[in-house]
Amino acid sequence: MEAKLTKDIEEHIALFQKLRDGYLGEVEAIGRLLWKRLEQGHKILVAGNGGSAADAQHFAAELVGRYLVERRSLPAIALTTDTSILTAVGNDYGYDQVFSRQLEGLGREGDVFIGISTSGNSENLVRAMNSAKKIGVTNVALVGKGGGRMKPLADVALVVPSDHTPRIQEGQQWIWHTWCDLIDQFHG
């Protein structure tokens, strides 16, 4: 068991070294994009499935509430939280449309949609990105495993350099926490 735990930690460290050495500019550029759109009065819409849904909710909560510093509440919506919408759309249209229907109703030109996925292949996120494009919402894909089908749909894609789901999720959480930190810094 100790060997497995050591291997997990070594994989984590190797991933974060890759992020440090090759991805800081991308992380910062997306953080600046998010801040710019928020400052212009737009909102951030974010979604994912499973653990990525939890990340979407956590990210939105940090923006609406606060991350590390006191600042005004920022407009962010996790499209994963309204069970009435999710179940109604899932029942009436299919689960593959649970995020695209919400984007059609809530998204406005200039807003940003962030799709979080370890594989980049979730059909409901692919459809959401297509809907976002139609209404002028900027697509940000936060993905792993090479980016999948979401990467080419994104205006900006940040692909965590791993094929291992736990490591991808660890990297993604650091990335969106860093976006929160950058937004706090830009606000100050």
Could you tell me which residues are annotated as the binding site for substrate? 49-51, 62, 91-92, 117-119, 122, 169
Burial of 41: CB neighbours in 10 Å, binned 0-12, 13-18, 19+: exposed
Burial of 81: CB neighbours in 10 Å, binned 0-12, 13-18, 19+: middle
CA dist., res. 119 & res. 107, Å (int)? 24
Cite the annotated binding site by residue number.
Answer: 49-51, 58, 62, 91-92, 117-119, 122, 169, 177
174 vs 27, 58, 165, CA distance in Å?
10, 12, 14
Cite the annotated binding site for Zn(2+) by residue number.
Answer: 58, 62, 169, 177
Render 16-65 in DSSP notation, one character per residue.
HHHHHHHTHHHHHHHHHHHHHHHHTT--EEEEESTHHHHHHHHHHHHHHS
